[in-house]
Amino acid sequence: MTSKLIESKINRQNILNNEYAISEVQNFFEFEQVTFEGKIRFLKEEIATFFEVDTRTIDRYIERYNEELTYNGYEILRGQRLKEFIELHNSKVNDTNVVDLPKTIPALGVFDFKSFLNLAMLLTNNENAKVVRNIILDISIDTINRKAGGSTKYINQRDEDFLDS
C-alpha cells in the first residue's frame, strides 16, 4: 500500500482528504510549531531539518509538485499576512527553532500540516518520510476501521467488499 501511496496522486489525495485521520496523525506527532490562522505552519528550513535533506531538495519538490502541494496547504505569504506571521514566528523563536525571520522579506513559503504530510508522501527515497507514510497509513486505516465498525482491511475498500467478507 505504501508504494501505491507514493505512485498515485489520487491515493495521496484520498488520505489527505480524510480530515479526521489527518487530525489523528497531527495529534500523534505533537509538533510545537507556530500556529497561524488556526493551522500549524512550517518553514521550508524546518521541513528540511525534519526530513534531513537540503532546502534545495524541498525547493525542487515545491517546483515539481507545486499544484498538488498548494492544493494541500502550501502557500506563499505576502503583505499583511506575512507581517503577522513574521511577528508571531519571531515571538516564539527559542534556542531550538530557526533564527528570527527578517522583517523585510517580500514573500515567504509556508507549509501547513496537510502539505507537510503530502511532501512526506512525495519524498520517495527518504527514511524519515517512509516512517511518516507508515504512520499515516496505520492511523488512516485504524480511523476508517473504527468508523466502519471494525471490518476495514484496506483504505479504498468499497461497501460491496463488506458484503463479500
Structure confidence by residue, pLDDT tens digits, 48-70: 999 999 999 999 999 999 999 99
Q: How far is CA 160 from the centre of its chain?
A: 31
Return mean pLDDT, the chain: 83
Q: How confident is the model at residue 126 (pLDDT cuts 50, 70, 90)?
A: very high
37: left (phi over 0), alpha (psi -120 to 50) or beta: left
pLDDT at 14: 87
Kindly report which listed range (18-22, 69-73, 129-133, 158-162) carries the lowest average pLDDT score: 158-162
Cβ(155)–Cβ(144) below 8 Å: yes
End-to-end CA distance of the chain: 20
Instruction: Record the pTM.
Output: 0.80
Residue 145: is its pLDDT beyond 80? no
Cβ(20)–Cβ(31) below 8 Å: no
Residue 165: is its pLDDT beyond 90? no
Residue 144: is its pLDDT beyond 50? yes
φ, ψ of residue 92 in degrees (nearest 5): -105, -5
